[in-house]
Structure 1
């Protein structure tokens, strides 16, 4: 009886060739099959296929190749500039992809569309650390892969038509499809490849942290060690063509200047004004004013060609005060720094970043202390 081939991932050709070599080192037979390319796409995609009987051995190799869950960025690894865009083919992903495309074009970075579909073979035994193999589930895996590939092709077709073929070819793009867990795989790929920025869709004020779209984005914001841009559904399609005003909300964290330095690298091609805001809950914020003035002087000295404004407002509700400032000053993007905290702290005292995710209708750029 002829042995059955199963698609384990859809990858750009170069990545697929490297993975094929990795599989063969482990004694896993691997075939590469061309995907019918969309006219205008700039990266050849292929299906990575293995024998059905090798699935149990192959998944750990794939996870190792794309990045293990929880893997932290390597400090000495040089990688290309990438903007990672996790997609689930919803209207929220569509908005995120449009914004990410314009940012990629300005930064001369590659845009990577990433989709992870549920892996029924692994999830069939959720409490085991061992990859469980059940041949009866491979049909579901095949169907999920085909469905993901069809959805990706439709998604890309719509994107190319929207931005125009000529404009599309000015940005290097690729897409990755694999079986797995969306949250873990997004974090793994981002950390392994040291991406410049992760761009994700969210519902903004219309959503809640119990919605799937919002909760996954919130988890990525909480756990990523890289900058994450959350793009609400109501964001204008062309907002990233010309960022004008960026608000950095500061609580005088020691890592503020590290975050602002990363912000400046992202904003380098934009002529954007940066406004720093501190919300004080003290009725006599003399010390806060002094620290804000010192921050302003340091920023002006370090970034001579950038316009900075630093403001202080007094109020008990930090979220409301930030929201009012955003509206009054026509802010395009809110940027802030968050810290990784333990589970109990996250449950009983959610971070400002997580709260703002469901409180604002402008993109929010989160850095990690």
Structure 2
């Protein structure tokens, strides 16, 4: 059984990630763990320099916890009820309620339960407040060893069609392993993979040799998976990838975090917002 961890903080984008996870569970024998982190009281200790600081009362904390737990369960039931495709389906769901900072708790729980994938929401476009909250997703990607699927707030999955997948190649042999994993994961879907190598300058002979090597390997070992290979150039990495994704109607962007070669380009403060918060295409990160 595939183990899916879905952190939910009641934001629109985390609820969308939950819907995404529930929809994907139709295609896999999957168990879903829904996690809510109580960070309200994680750092509310008495300040010795401020005698007026009040420690939250235990009854208030317990009442807040109970309300949040009940709210989350009702929310999950509502999401399932609103998804006609999930009716009469036996979906295995567990709930976890933990104290601490989300980026730390999510990583710890994922490791403890040995989750196969963490599905997290990212914020809406052009919403700086939600972008700040959604930065937890970037922190988790940098901390965890599990697969992370970052789902933008406005993204919707058609479980009958995750058709076009953009696979971003790197300059190392890790691509072969990651591509095999991607093919295995997406096997329940009728997919076409676009294996793309990005360069800031015009494609040269070295780039073409790299692509030819991967193409030759796939022709021998991945005959049943439609794969197209190409190199794209552009000074701005994110803009180039976004344009390619739009022109090819990409449903999922995926990459490997090996040596951080691509992630270095993405998870810098200025570029992270563009990649995670200015596109509606989900991003799947394979950890090395």
Q: If the length of structure 2 is used for normalisation, what is the TM-score?
A: 0.85
Q: 5+ unaligned residues in a row in structure 1: which ranges?
A: 1-79, 128-133
Aligned residues: 279
Equivalent residue, structure 1, for 2:14 = 93
SS for the counterpart of 2:27 is: helix
CA–CA distance in structure 2, aligned partners of residues 351 and 245 of structure 1: 27
Equivalent residue, structure 1, for 2:241 = 322
Shift of 1:347: 11
Q: 5+ unaligned residues in a row in structure 2: which ranges?
A: 48-53
Shift of 1:362: 0.8
After alignment, is 191-200 or 171-180 more displaced?
171-180
CA–CA distance in structure 2, aligned partners of residues 186 and 164 of structure 1: 30
The one-character-per-residue Cα deviations of 1:194-243 (angstroms, maximum 9, x if unpaired) are: 2111111112543459734321111112212111111111112x433421
CA–CA distance in structure 2, aligned partners of residues 290 and 322 of structure 1: 21
CA–CA distance in structure 2, aligned partners of residues 192 and 351 of structure 1: 33
Alignment of 1:133-212 (within 5 A): 137-164=57-84, 167=87, 169-203=89-123, 205-207=125-127, 211-212=131-132
Alignment of 1:1-369 (within 5 A): 80-118=1-39, 120=41, 122-125=42-45, 137-164=57-84, 167=87, 169-203=89-123, 205-207=125-127, 211-236=131-156, 238-339=157-258, 349=268, 356-369=275-288
CA–CA distance in structure 2, aligned partners of residues 190 and 235 of structure 1: 24
Shift of 1:150: 2.6
After alignment, is 91-100 or 165-174 more displaced?
165-174
Q: 1:170 to 1:299 in 2, by over 3 A?
A: farther
If asked which structure has higher relative contact order (CA below 8 Å, sep 6+), I would say 2
Shift of 1:339: 4.8
CA–CA distance in structure 1, aligned partners of residues 212 and 115 of structure 2: 33
Q: If the length of structure 1 is used for normalisation, what is the TM-score?
A: 0.68
SS for the counterpart of 2:190 is: coil
CA–CA distance in structure 2, aligned partners of residues 246 and 202 of structure 1: 19
SS for the counterpart of 1:170 is: coil
SS for the counterpart of 1:240 is: coil
* CA-based RMSD: 2.9
